[in-house]
Structure 1
Amino acid sequence: MKVAVLGSGAMGCLFGAAFHRAEADVVLVDVNADHVDAINAGGLKLDLRGGSETLSIRAAVPSEISERFDLVMVFTKTFHTQAALEGIVSAIGEDTHLLSLQNGLGNDRRLAGFVSEDRVMVGASMLPSDLVGPGHIRSHGEGYSKLYPAFGSDTAMAERVAALLSEGGLETVLDPQIHAAIWSKAIFNAAMNPLCALTLRTPGFLGAHDEALATIHAVVEEGVAAAQANGLMIDAQPIHDLTRTSMTDHADHEASMLQDIKAGRRTEIDAISGAIVEAAKAKGMDVPVTQTLWRLVKLEEAKLATAL
């Protein structure tokens, strides 16, 4: 299988490495030229819980991509999806499938603007991964991934992708209730990411303070109520359990939103907390704690814009 990983930061490289181990023909595509050059010069360096390894994987900036792929896996920030796919449109052929494991809600419709609905897959991953530096990532936690066709019922390609990822060391399963899984991850992210970003601390810090624990609990309950109002009958307890795991097993992991704020970048708060607020509002519901965190992170983004 010819695979392009579009947005090969910490998570993209982690999944690209799994495809490579399973002997897929992989290209890591990213706009960060230093990162791309480092991978091409010295290989992709991975620090994993089980040890370290260096893999020889091709990397490229979007302008260098001309061939067509069987699968384009999208890991860009949600607000970059449109431009990123337009930047490698020559890589998308009549048989190319697109897969998003991005954060937030609404990624299925963004991908459907580039291929037919039967070639769109979506998923959710609970694996942690951090970018240590150009060509170097770290993933010291355990987790799993789920995926499924976003709109159809033909699972042939999804089965191939899940098998390759699992063979490459990342446990991946098919989940017919993938939209519920994506909502669950969005709720988890809405509970953990904004607090990490606002406090400039990792999950272990949050777990040590009652104020954070109460806020996290409230956001999970609000998110589950919003999901259920939108027809997704998800259970709150597994999400509560996952937040506790994040604060213990992944205590030192820097959430993506924290990384963005520290780096002076725009966050994905709109696709995560903002999307939950809007989905709740569409059903006549209020989610006040989620909305407050959304607004506070937007203020942090406004500060960054002013500083520039």
Structure 2
Amino acid sequence: MSEEDSERILVWGAGAIGGTIGAYLLRDGSDVTFVDVAADHVQAIVERGLSITGPFGEFKVAAPAVTPDTLEGQWDTILLCTKAQHTAEAAKTLAPHLKPGGVVVSIQNGLNPLIINDHISPQQVLGSFVNFGADYLEPGVVHYGGRGVVVIGEQNGEITERARQLHAMLSHFEPDAILSPNVFGYLWSKLAYGALLFATAVTNDSIADALAQPGDRALYTELGREVMRVALAHGVTPEAFNGFDPAAFLPSAGDAAAQQSLDGMVAFNRRSAKTHSGIWRDLAVRKRRTEVDAQLGWVVHFGEQHGVPTPLTAKLVELIHQIEDGTRELGRENLTELRALMLQEQA
């Protein structure tokens, strides 16, 4: 992959993540084409451009945008930025548009390179981890609310020249982007942090307000520990980011360490203009399915594989599905059920 090739980019999924990154790359001179399944969003980008709003400045970019069924051509660099539950379908659909020797970068939540590998040669798939705050507001408009860690790396941990080039590309969006030999360590840590976010999302509290609740911190701590137990059993070395310290949620860690990490996450989220998680927006605002199976489902799956119990994670998945189905309301009483299960398991 040459430097010239790396500047011609196909962004598959132009929502919160893909829209924000793609707009910044385009503004800095890259040749970006957007693909999205939402025809109204595509039409808005074509007619009016893609607008980025938020505390880091407002700007608009003009770029080609199409739906997958009308896309023509091939690219050396494809950034896959869809919701995690759409990964398999997106990977199958984009495969014909990937040049021989080209690369797909999964810029998503979850362990999605493992899914993409089933449809595209693993040698052409890189992993990425992002934790910045952004929301799709309406067709043609994305809100970029808070900076966060951006990481990229080869699945096998090798520091390759193409990984260096892609890291340099992402640095146009996030100057402190990290090129890591352990991208899966970040992705597993995001699963643990994600478990906490899913728990905050069953309430109507903001992320920071929820994580700051003294009475709920034992629950958040045990949720994090469940994921870390599975990660360790799976041979993963988790990585710290944006206040989340995986060492604080290891089975051997004391409660004081977990309290300190939770304080760090509260402080990080207080600085963001994005107050609630995308999970909460999916449930409360957009009324659509969340990424719960594509994120926490991995924890339950590998927990079963390694014989590590994950009762809280499994219960949280159940609660989220009930809210998605309209049989359960958002509210703090949902945490009461999780807390009761935790006490039962600890008895």
TM-score computed with the length of structure 1 as normaliser: 0.90
Q: Which residue of 1 aligns with 2:117?
A: 112
| Structure 2 CA distance for aligned equivalents of residues 299 and 45 of structure 1 | 34
| Structure 1 CA distance for aligned equivalents of residues 327 and 15 of structure 2 | 22
- For residue 84 of structure 2, the aligned residue among 59, 73, 78 is 78
Describe the superposition over 1:240-267 as per-residue Cα deviations: whole angstroms up to 9, x where unpaired: 4653245422374331211221222111
The offset of 1:199, in angstroms, is 1.2
- For residue 237 of structure 1, the aligned residue among 224, 240, 248 is 248
Distance 1:301 1:140, change over 3 A: closer
State the one-letter code of the partner of 1:204: A
Identity in percent = 26
State the one-letter code of the partner of 1:286: P
The offset of 1:88, in angstroms, is 3.3
After the TM superposition, which of the residue ranges 186-195 and 83-92 deviates more from structure 2? 83-92
1:6–1:74 contact (8 Å) kept in structure 2: yes
Q: Which residue of 1 aligns with 2:58?
A: 52
Matched, 1:293 2:329: no
Matched, 1:7 2:13: yes
1:71–1:96 contact (8 Å) kept in structure 2: yes
1:188–1:242 contact (8 Å) kept in structure 2: no
| Structure 1 CA distance for aligned equivalents of residues 314 and 215 of structure 2 | 17
Distance 1:208 1:241, change over 3 A: closer
Describe the superposition over 1:55-84 as per-residue Cα deviations: whole angstroms up to 9, x where unpaired: 122211112211101111111122212222
The number of residue pairs the alignment matches comes to: 303
| Structure 2 CA distance for aligned equivalents of residues 83 and 194 of structure 1 | 28
Distance 1:32 1:184, change over 3 A: same
Describe the superposition over 1:206-237 as per-residue Cα deviations: whole angstroms up to 9, x where unpaired: 13423433322221122112211211133333
- For residue 281 of structure 1, the aligned residue among 304, 315, 327 is 304
Distance 1:143 1:154, change over 3 A: closer
TM-score computed with the length of structure 2 as normaliser: 0.80
| Structure 1 CA distance for aligned equivalents of residues 54 and 190 of structure 2 | 23
Matched, 1:271 2:294: yes
Q: Which residue of 1 aligns with 2:127?
A: 122
- For residue 207 of structure 1, the aligned residue among 201, 206, 211 is 211
| Structure 1 CA distance for aligned equivalents of residues 159 and 174 of structure 2 | 25
State the one-letter code of the partner of 1:261: L
| Structure 1 CA distance for aligned equivalents of residues 229 and 140 of structure 2 | 41
What 5-or-longer segments of structure 1 have no aligned partner? none
Q: Which residue of 2 aligns with 1:42?
A: 48
* TM alignment of 1:71-220, pairs within 5 A: 71-105=77-111, 107-151=112-156, 153=158, 155-169=160-174, 171-196=176-201, 198-220=202-224
| Structure 2 CA distance for aligned equivalents of residues 245 and 142 of structure 1 | 13
- For residue 221 of structure 1, the aligned residue among 220, 225, 233 is 225
State the one-letter code of the partner of 1:272: Q
| Structure 2 CA distance for aligned equivalents of residues 287 and 251 of structure 1 | 33
The offset of 1:181, in angstroms, is 0.7
Q: CA RMSD in A?
A: 2.2
Describe the SS at the equivalent of 2:326: helix
| Structure 2 CA distance for aligned equivalents of residues 282 and 298 of structure 1 | 23
After the TM superposition, which of the residue ranges 110-119 and 149-158 deviates more from structure 2? 149-158
After the TM superposition, which of the residue ranges 267-276 and 286-295 deviates more from structure 2? 286-295
Describe the superposition over 1:133-183 as per-residue Cα deviations: whole angstroms up to 9, x where unpaired: 111111121212111111363622221111012124453221101111110
